[in-house]
Amino acid sequence: MAGNILSTLFGTNPSRTTATVPIPAQKTVAGVMHVVIFGAGLVGTALGRHIADQGHDVWFIESNPETVHKLRERYDVQIVQGSAEDPKVLEEAGISRADLVLVVTNFDKTNIILTLIARSLNPTARIIMRLRGEEYLNNKLLWQSANLADTVIISPEHSVIEKAMAILEVQQAFDVAEFADGAIRVAGFRLEEDSPLIGKPLKEAVPRFDRRILVVTVDRDGAVFVPTGNTALRIGDRVFVTVLAGVNMAALLSVFGKEYRTQPKFVLAPLPEPFFVIAKELEAKGHEPVLLEPDFNRCRELAAELKETVIIHGDVADTGLLQRIVNKDTIFLSVTPTQEVNFLVSMLARKLGAVRAITMMDNEAYMAMAPSLDVDAVLSPRLSAVGAILRYIHMGRILDSAMLLGGQINLLLVELESGSKLDGIPIRQVAFPSGVLIAAAIQAGRAVVPHGEMILHAGDRVLLVTPILKTLSTLNELIVQKH
Amino acid sequence: MNFLMALRIQSVIAAMLAAFQLPALLLAFSLGEPLQYHVLSFLFACGLALGYFYTLKASTDLCARDGVLAVGLGWANTLFLGALPYVFSGRLGWIDALFESTSGFTTTGSSVLTDIEAWPQSLLLWRSTTQWLGGMGMLVLATAILPFLGAGGLQIMKAEVPGPSKDKLVPRVATTARILWSIYLFLTLLCILAFHVSGMTWLEAVNHAFTSMATGGFSTRNASFGVFSPAAQWWAVFFMTVAGINYVLHYRLLLKGDLAIHRDDELRWYLGIILGVGLFCAWVAHPITAEQDLETALRQGLFQVVTIITTTGYASTDWETWPLFAQLVLVGVMIPGSMAGSTAGGIKVVRLVIAVRIFSTVVNRMLMPERVVMVKLNGREVDRDIIESTVALVSAAAVAIILGTIILVGLGMDTGSAYSAALTAFSNVGPGIGSVGPMDNFASVHDLGKILLAVLMVLGRLEVFTLIMLFLPRFWRS
């Protein structure tokens, strides 16, 4: 499982990894939170927008005047222009009154210093810090020190690695979100011509396959909806299904008209430092990935570190070279720091016959273009980070969260309270807000796909699917005790 | 362009104007005055408000252009609905009614009514209400109460709130608009109390508080503030001065207890001009004699200066009897008006400060080309786009006033009156000098002249750019 290796890599304290962070016992705030965000980069901006959409007060601290100007025009947030180290600027942003502080500049050192400053000015706020360097993540003594002990760490790169591993495992999905250490996955597939699901109402088509699969959401040319038993699917629909661990992948993929490769050949474009783990994990699963690397010295380092991986000294955009490596069983992955390079080499790999291309990019326009240009799956550090942080924005009741379809769908893992609307009643009889449904439940430690007659109880965990525009508070009554 | 949302905002504005017709309606009912024109205006506005249901599918995305569209339509809509009671009463024709409505909502205070005291009290209350609503702005009010605007509200605030930089008080636009209106309401209530305590009837206190806090200047008396007690006049001086102060400073003082606001550059200039020019006028125009003590001299001097610089436009004495020099000084302070982000008009003191500092940087650079010069305000460098928009607005104001003067002279006014009329309209003050002086009115102005002045008022209230944009072909090209 992705989580296991990652947690050994990123320190043994499991609360430090993104996958399984328990909610720290700090103040949970009802109503409007005062949120201070350091750094208005891609991650910070995306977070700020989503937090503001949930009705909270967002204060950015940003020194670049052009970024400030752009933010001010576009989002309903307040921006304090100046250096985040300047006490006056910090005071203006109300750091001492903040309920939540996000430290998400692009630099680890800066983030650590800013976290220390923020903590000294505000001992009670929940502070979330972004880090990428393993040298910090692995330093256990650092995280036990008084000023950093209560900091939640997120690593967008780390989230990307998890997602990449999940997608590589499901092979043909264009997006996968994992919950409960992989016991539940929500995976998205594009329906191919020979899928048996096409043209029939779901209630007739669905019993044909495993009870462990549930269709939760459909994206038809950008219109996202929850299917009913009477919905008939079409070619090209992008459907999200709940997949429980242990399902037969080959059988699952055939349902969507896709073929499962038992011996996939993973070809990896150069892996920059944080993503190097991907090769290691693939090795751990018994694969022999091929890794291209243009820098000879780096090649030697990698060769020393990796056992099974075939390391090729060469340029990923070298068509002749790529042609010799890529075949019809190839699953191609490109996570270089330059998204344009990722995009182009992925298209190239597909052209040369690769069955799948998975690419890291953050630009919204590129992400929208990707499916029509044969780039099958997109990894977005920005959206991964937002998904990972969502749970801290609301009440502290969300155990885990993820975003799909560029943020149009939220997945929230929550625990039911006694006396909530869902407690003790067959699901069929519960009135859900529109667009919301249960993708999966965990009862007595066992993941199950819900059905109409099923009765949930307090203490059960449910995975809710909800459209992004639905503010989280409308979900409250489903999961929280009625007053 | 998001037309549907712009229309939706119009229906909300119509609903608000229908609601604000009710106090006048109730007053007419309790005084036994005719009801029908208020009822008709109310029903008309309600009819427009029903358009809301046509726009339910509107997207909430608003770009800068949509903000301008919403504000432009909003003003047309407001001015039209504001004129209805006058027209339905049969007392004014369309042009006069629209002039009065425009003068109201732009908080100018120029009037075509000749004998104000002969008018029904309910219509006068409506007239004061238009100024009060226009003071903080109908669209800002709409932003405050519409939950669906989100970041789009910023575009509307930017197009309607005067001043070179539009900073939000708090992260959310809607909350900012709510805070602004709450402070405005709070100060208005204080003002009503103060006026009532110093001898006005409740109705007079409400009318005059509405038009003081809006820096509008409509009075319900022919002799304006001249008939009220010295105490009421002093209170008016205080509340007009307060109304001319940037609401960001009110917010910092009232809600944050921040006493450092006295260090604000613009506030110092604003109060400095008031004191300086006020004392000067008192000294020049009101020599201390047997029947005129120091208090009267100070009060008359300060009242006229404050009423002009805050662009309110009451009068407590006929200052056309002042020496010509003092009169021209008064006309001179119409140009800066009050502070940015207040309810007042004019090109705003802060722009004057910036203009002066631009001038000084140019001079400094010419004296010593190697010297690094920078336009600063409150110790910070002024952004380049603010400098540009300041220069553009000051030039546009000069052009508008000069063109206005020329056209008014062409329509038969004398030069002095024409110039003061164009300036007073653009700066949203109210009275001018000559044939449109503080004790005269605008009834005698040519119909075309009234239309021109109404356009100048809106141009001044929306600070030129918002209105001009609507008439540019490239605005409508997608």
Q: Which residue of A has its CA nearest to B151?
A: A76
Which pLDDT band, with edges at 50, 70 and 90, does B15 fall under? very high
Nearest to B89 by CA among B46, B47, B141, B28: B28
Which of A76, A96, A469 should one mutate to test binding to chain B, selecting the residue with the greatest count of B CBs within 10 A? A76
Angstrom distance (rounded) from CA A424 to CA A421: 8
Output b/e per residue, A47-70; b: 16+ Cβ within 10 A. Answer: bbbbbbbbebbbbbbbbeeebbee
pLDDT tens-digit readout, B336-379: 889 988 998 889 999 999 999 999 999 999 999 888 888 988 88
Alpha carbon of B170: minimum distance to chain A alpha carbons (Å) = 7
A50 DSSP assignment: H
Inter-chain contact A78–B171, Cβ cutoff 8 Å? yes
Extract the tokens encoding B9.
């905002």
Instruction: Kindly tell me if the per-residue pLDDT of B191 is higher than 90.
Output: yes
Mean pLDDT score across all residues of chain A = 81
Contact across the interface for B171 and A58, Cβ inside 8 Å = yes
- Say what the pLDDT of residue A12 is: 31
Residue of A nearest to B148 (CA): A53
Residue B188 has pLDDT above 90, yes or no: yes
The token pair at B406 is 């020329």
Q: For position B367, what pLDDT does the model report?
A: 93
- Say whether pLDDT at B24 is over 70: yes
Q: Residue B16 corresponds to which tokens in the numbers above?
A: 């608000």
Contact A138, A114 (CB under 8 A): no
Confidence band of A6 (pLDDT split at 50, 70, 90): very low
A48 token code pair: 């700020």
Whether residue A57 and residue B170 make contact (CB cut-off 8 A), yes or no, is: yes
Determine which of A313-322, A332-341, A363-372 has the lowest per-residue pLDDT on average. A363-372
- The pLDDT value given to residue B123: 93
Neighbours of A316 (CB within 10 A): 26
B20: number of CA atoms within 13 Å, CB side? 24
User: Does position A378 have pLDDT exceeding 80, yes or no?
Assistant: yes
Confidence of residue A473 (pLDDT cuts 50, 70, 90): low
Of the candidate ranges A291-295, B221-225, B291-295, the one whose mean pLDDT is the lowest: B291-295
Q: For residues B77 and B45, what is the distance between their CA atoms, to the nearest angstrom?
A: 10
C-beta separation of A356 from A172 below 8 A: yes
Residues of B in contact with A77 (CB under 8 A): 171
For residues B25 and B39, what is the distance between their CA atoms, to the nearest angstrom? 7
- pLDDT tens by residue, A429-469: 888 877 788 888 888 888 888 877 888 888 888 888 887 65
Q: Please report which confidence band the pLDDT of residue A210 belongs to, taking 50, 70 and 90 as the band edges.
A: low
Mean pLDDT value across residues A302-309: 88
CB B92 within 8 A of CB B296: no
CA distances from B306 to A217, B119, B211, B237, B282 (A): 65, 28, 14, 6, 12
Residue closest to B21 by CA, chosen among B47, B56, B53: B47
Enumerate domains of chain A plus CATH numbers.
2-155 (3.40.50.720), 160-255 (3.30.70.1450), 265-354 (3.40.50.720), 390-479 (3.30.70.1450)
pLDDT in tens, B417-439: 999 999 999 999 988 888 888 88
pLDDT of residue B59: 77
Rounded average pLDDT over A274-297: 89
User: pLDDT tens for residues B236-249?
Assistant: 999 999 999 999 99
For residue A436, which amino acid is it? Answer: V
Q: Is the pLDDT of residue B127 over 90?
A: yes
What pLDDT does residue A208 have? 53
pLDDT band at B179 (very low <50, low <70, confident <90, very high): very high
- Amino acid in the structure at residue A180: A
Q: What's the whole-model pTM score?
A: 0.80
Three-state SS at B86: helix
- The minimal CB distance from A74 to the residues B151, B168, B173 is found for B151
pLDDT-wise least confident of A8-17, A151-160, A348-357: A8-17
Complete DSSP assignment for B268-299: HHHHHHHHHHHHHHHHHH----SS--HHHHHH
Half-sphere exposure of B106 (CA within 13 A, CB side): 34
Q: What tens digit of pLDDT does each residue of A109-136 get?
A: 999 999 999 999 988 888 998 887 777 8
* Residue tagged 């140009």 (tokens): B335
How far apart (Å, rounded) are the C-alpha atoms in residues B372 and B364? Answer: 9
ipTM, two decimals, is 0.74
Q: In chain A, how many H helices and how many E strands? A: 17, 22
B170–A76 C-beta distance less than 8 A: no
For A76, the closest of B64, B150, B383 (CB atoms) is: B150
- How many residues are present in chain A? 483
* Beta carbons of B314 and B307 less than 8 angstroms apart: yes
DSSP state at residue A265: E
CB contact under 8 Å between A76 and B151, yes or no, is yes
What crossing angle do the helices spanning B384-410 and B349-367 adopt, rounded to 10°? 110
- Chain A environment of B154 (Cβ under 8 Å): 72-73, 76
